[in-house]
Amino acid sequence: MADWIEPPAKAPAFSLKATDGKTVKLSEFKGKAVVLYFYPKDDTPGCTKEACAFRDRLAEIQELGAVVLGVSADDVEKHKAFTAKYELNFPLLADTDHALCEKYGAWREKNMYGKISMGIQRSTYLIGPDGKVAKVWKKVSVDGHDEQVLEALKALNAE
């Protein structure tokens, strides 16, 4: 189990299939900030609320020069259905072997009602235009998270 990537470490590179079937690489966003968020599962209550919050704030995030990428271990087909159902306006990346989650430290031991299992811990990385991790939110609480990300982006732009 990998440790969390902490600021100001260089963000680990990745190349994953997105909702539209195209491959998305971190290197494509050089010079832009990236909001990379890891979530447990498509179309579950917390994950839906989080995705819809990012959807609703996307224009503000883009105005700050950033992109949003969601990552879960669900496959592209599940991502397509989730995207269509909630009209999501940003790519979801399929990390079906959870290799990216492991690289970033989001693949963790979880304890649900006493049952220990491995899974994605809801977390968000703000990667600066320089490709370095600017901020990490571990164990994200969905309520108000979109606002925290916007504030961090504003602070990053003010630097």
Residue 97 C-alpha from the chain's centroid: 16
Instruction: Judge contact between 32 and 65, C-beta under 8 A.
Output: yes
Q: Is 100 left (phi over 0), alpha (psi -120 to 50) or beta?
A: alpha
Which range is least confidently modeled, 42-51, 106-115, 121-130? 106-115
| Residue 2 resides in a domain | no
Please determine, for residue 75, whether its predicted confidence score (pLDDT) is greater than 70: yes
pLDDT category at 1 given cuts 50, 70, 90 is low
Per residue in 20-61, pLDDT tens? Answer: 999 999 999 999 999 999 999 999 999 999 999 999 999 999
| Residue 8 resides in a domain | no
Residues 6+ apart with CB under 8 A from 122: 37, 38, 39, 40, 46, 47, 50, 139, 140, 142
Q: Which domain holds residue 55?
A: 15-158
The candidate with the shortest Cα–Cα distance to 27, out of 17, 37, 38, 15, is: 15
In this prediction, residue 89 carries a pLDDT of 98
pLDDT category at 112 given cuts 50, 70, 90 is confident
Return the bridge partners of 112, or none.
Answer: 115
pLDDT averaged over the chain?
95
In this prediction, residue 110 carries a pLDDT of 87
Full-model pTM = 0.96
| Residue 55 resides in a domain | yes
| CATH label of the domain that carries residue 133 | 3.40.30.10
Per residue in 80-97, pLDDT tens? Answer: 999 999 999 999 999 999
How many structural domains is the chain composed of? 1
In this prediction, residue 90 carries a pLDDT of 98
| Residue 1 resides in a domain | no
Catalytic residue numbers, as ranges: 47
Six-digit token pair at 3?
Answer: 């440790």
Mean pLDDT over 1-28 rounds to 93
| Residue 5 resides in a domain | no
| Residue 10 resides in a domain | no
| Residue 117 resides in a domain | yes
pLDDT category at 158 given cuts 50, 70, 90 is confident
Give the number of other Cβ atoms within 10 Å of residue 154's Cβ: 11
Mean pLDDT over 57-66 rounds to 97
Q: What percent of the chain has pLDDT over 70?
A: 99
